[in-house]
Structure 1
Amino acid sequence: MIQTGLISNAHSDLVTDASYDFYGLRLATCSLDQRVKVWQLDETTGSWSLEHDWKAHDAAISKVSWAHPEFGTILATASFDRTVKVWEQVSAAAPDADGGASSSASASRWAERAMLVDAKGTVRAVEFAPSHFGLKLATISSDNCLRIYECLEQPSLAAWQLIEEVDVLSLPISASPAARSVAQTLSLATPTQTASAPLDSASVSLVAHALQQQAAQNQNQLPGRPGLGTREADGGWSISWCKDKYWGEIIAAGCGIDGIVKIIQVTPSRRPSSLLSLNPAPASSAPSASDPSIKSPAAATHGSSGAGSGDGWTGAKTCAVTSIAWAPSCGRSYHLVATGARDGHVRIWRVKPPTPSEDLDAGAEEGDGAQWTASIVGDFDDHKSAVGRVEWNITGTVLSSAGNDGRVRLWKMTAGNVWRPAGHISVEQAEEQQGDVDMGDVAVDD
């Protein structure tokens, strides 16, 4: 890995995020200075030039995301001002020397198409869905809520509908086999059963609602954790879409300060459900070490969100997961999910969905009957400081991570299915080649 460029003085304050477009020829950056900048790569010289620069929000910008080019040239930005904005690049007449519009010359600009204002806290992450699901985007904010929007008017990009809104921390656990059989019995009731079926369904709904309220109360009143209810500090941090179309709309979301990532399935027919919880806490620190859902010393729990899964206070040292990256599947029978946390660890999870035969044997709809499992296949603390970003290459074979140690590190799987360090680039190297680097600079790597 070599450094091919350094964008000096990219912003006047800390750069909070940088994102390549689909082709890797343009780079969007955002900063605490409330501005978004788009850079264009000159392939002949390898240098980056500023293409667009505008003030996008009234507060610091946390994330920027490109939509798939089949929908146009579209950006989404998330901000501390509790809003998400959708921007589109449009052509505009360039002013001539007299200040009027010139008919011969044309330029482009970024126009604000929509502003989403549903968040009750800082919007920390925004990401467009894979293109096969349509023009959708997901956000997560410090109010713990995962929100999914769908564009209703793609030509104008003006109308966006909030199609899902769920509190990740209080997300109900997956139904037990007994409860699932009850639900199936209710769903198979004949049209003549007009008296009993509605009553049973209402009872099930009331029980689910009560359990959800109890889970929320337990989350805010954990023993030994005074003042845990500070949602701005304990809220949502990061999200990442599953790139595989086969399993439907699935999102990995990190919330709270327990270091747990929830794998959430979103379906049009019912409320989102938690397929799996990735819990890095040692099994010995969990209340029930003999829980059969524990898959490895670094526990991965199936459909769990209660104290028994490690979501509650267990005394283990855990930190917020600040970045999640779901790798492209590229024909693998399993998924790879990478996380970076404030405890300095980069973790790689192998997430195994149920096989089609298991799913058919379970007799459940949309893969609900068989278990998803996960285990940690890589755990590295080389950064020795908070990890701010993890990202996969286009084939999901190489992982890069960036930490507060000023280094971008690479991780690759060897022939024996063992993940090992594959190199790094540091700010010191950039200083030797380009001079001093400050927090407003952007190092561009190859």
Structure 2
Amino acid sequence: MFVTKQIESEHKDLIHDVSFDFYGKRMASCSSDQSVKVWDLGEDGEWKCTATWKTHSGSVFRVTWAHPEFGQVLATCSFDRQAAVWEESFGDVGREGVKSNWIKKSILVDSRTAVTDVKFAPKHLGLQLAICCSDGMVRIYECPDVMNISQWSLQHDIQTKFKCSCLSWNSSRMHPPMIAVGSDDNNPSGGGKCQVFEYNDSTRKWTKVETIVAVTDPVHDVAFAPNLGRSYHLLAIASKELKIISLTPLGRDSVIGNQSVVSRFEMKQVASFTDHESPVWRVSWNVTGTVLSSSGDDGCVRLWKANYLGRWKGISILKGDASQTRQDRNFSANPSQNPAGAVSQQSNEELVRMNIKRNSGWPSFNTKKDQGKTYY
């Protein structure tokens, strides 16, 4: 049984994103009030705000945690065309314990338009950070010295030729680095709204290896499933429908003459669901890549899993408060009982996406957010 609790976040505007750290004991929230708040889970199961600060001069769209191997590090992106990297430092001990401060270690200002998403690379790739912008550019930065995260160098510029809304790293160690990028462009003639890029060691460049032409509706979120030894990749796409795409490599990269031949993939749509009966906003996998969660405007979080024949089916539906209308729903799950949390609400005037991630055995639930309050 899930127990719903409410956190008075004290954000003064719409909350765009919520992200849990690797262990699920800390979470960060960001808002259109230009601030970020960090919350810690106490021994009593209650969330306590331990830090709050103004980060950008515009709405903060995303916040994400780096792997704890690199310390307590956050990255944020904003409408002000900037992405920033923050590191926690500890001050004096007060009545309420040690007071933590978050210091801006670096600010990335190469973007000419709003930065719509920011993600740290998998740990085995080192301390790298990918950002995507509404002008169609994906930029990858690297911190050469993990002991000094003030220095970030721009390693790659990737031109997607469409408006970028979201991105996802492939965490597989058995394959070259890979990134999926989605677009929320409403132009139906723009072709496939999801592209896959792969890093080629021979050319030291990122190359577009696939365009998923089956997805022509605006893409709100993409997520690669964790790959624990599979010979293929699974990519979940949140759009008008929920789609799961498998990508099977057909061969290794090779060089013929002076031209590099990049590996191609055999793509197959293994599942497509319209159960939300509304746009799907967020998707997220559990750590083993076997259970997928999705959220949509129907106020529900749905869990999906494949059977032994590889057929994907819904295994659970987590509904919002039945006493509320479809236009004003809230769903939440207690993360102390289930290593995941969720929020879902739709407003007639404005819809704001929210992503709650927990790197744990259960999938994280990703939905939308209301104004000034957080539920879990």
TM-score range, shorter chain: 0.7 to 0.9
Select the structure of larger CA radius of gyration.
1
Is 1:277 aligned with 2:211?
A: yes
2:243 to 347, 350, 356: 347
AA aligned opposite 2:101: R
Cα deviation for residue 248 of structure 1 reads 2.1
Percent of aligned pairs with the same amino acid: 36
Cα deviation for residue 57 of structure 1 reads 0.9
User: Structure 1, unaligned stretches of length 5 or more?
Assistant: 97-104, 170-233, 282-317
User: Do the aligned partners of 2:192 and 2:211 also contact (CA within 8 Å) in 1?
Assistant: no
Cα deviation for residue 271 of structure 1 reads 2.8
Aligned runs of 1:188-207 on 2, under 5 Å?
Answer: none
What CA distance in whole angstroms lies between the structure 1 residues aligned with 2:3 and 2:178? Answer: 34
- Secondary structure at the residue paired with 2:252? helix
- Work out which structure has the larger RCO, using CA pairs closer than 8 Å and 6 or more positions apart in sequence: 2
The residue that corresponds to 1:196 in the other structure is none
The residue that corresponds to 2:52 in the other structure is 53
What CA distance in whole angstroms lies between the structure 1 residues aligned with 2:249 and 2:36? Answer: 38
* Cα distance change on mapping 1:164 and 1:433 into 2, 3 Å: closer
The count of corresponding residues between Structure 1 and Structure 2 is 328
1:386 to 271, 279, 282: 279
* Cα distance change on mapping 1:431 and 1:399 into 2, 3 Å: closer
User: Do the aligned partners of 1:5 and 1:46 also contact (CA within 8 Å) in 2?
Assistant: no
Cα deviation for residue 395 of structure 1 reads 0.7
AA aligned opposite 1:56: T
User: Do the aligned partners of 1:346 and 1:387 also contact (CA within 8 Å) in 2?
Assistant: yes
User: Do the aligned partners of 1:82 and 1:119 also contact (CA within 8 Å) in 2?
Assistant: yes
The residue that corresponds to 1:328 in the other structure is 226
Aligned runs of 1:31-110 on 2, under 5 Å?
Answer: 31-42=31-42, 44-94=43-93, 106-110=98-102
Cα deviation for residue 163 of structure 1 reads 0.6
* Cα distance change on mapping 1:52 and 1:420 into 2, 3 Å: same
Query: Cα RMSD between the aligned structures?
Result: 2.8
Is 1:235 aligned with 2:235?
A: no
* Cα distance change on mapping 1:81 and 1:162 into 2, 3 Å: same
Cα deviation for residue 34 of structure 1 reads 1.2
AA aligned opposite 2:117: A
Cα deviation for residue 431 of structure 1 reads 6.3
2:175 to 214, 234, 247: 247
The residue that corresponds to 2:302 in the other structure is 409
AA aligned opposite 1:349: I
User: Do the aligned partners of 2:299 and 2:331 also contact (CA within 8 Å) in 1?
Assistant: no
User: Structure 2, unaligned stretches of length 5 or more?
Assistant: 323-328, 334-343, 346-369
* Cα distance change on mapping 1:414 and 1:72 into 2, 3 Å: same
Is 1:262 aligned with 2:158?
A: no
User: Do the aligned partners of 1:83 and 1:123 also contact (CA within 8 Å) in 2?
Assistant: yes
> Which protein has the bigger helix share?
1
Cα deviation for residue 9 of structure 1 reads 4.3
* Cα distance change on mapping 1:26 and 1:364 into 2, 3 Å: farther
What CA distance in whole angstroms lies between the structure 2 residues aligned with 1:142 and 1:251? Answer: 17
- Normalised by the length of structure 1, the TM-score is 0.68
The residue that corresponds to 2:265 in the other structure is 372
Cα deviation for residue 385 of structure 1 reads 2.5
The residue that corresponds to 1:338 in the other structure is 236
What CA distance in whole angstroms lies between the structure 2 residues aligned with 1:433 and 1:110? Answer: 28
* Cα distance change on mapping 1:279 and 1:78 into 2, 3 Å: same
AA aligned opposite 2:315: A
Cα deviation for residue 23 of structure 1 reads 0.6
- Secondary structure at the residue paired with 1:280? coil
- Secondary structure at the residue paired with 1:132? helix
- Normalised by the length of structure 2, the TM-score is 0.79
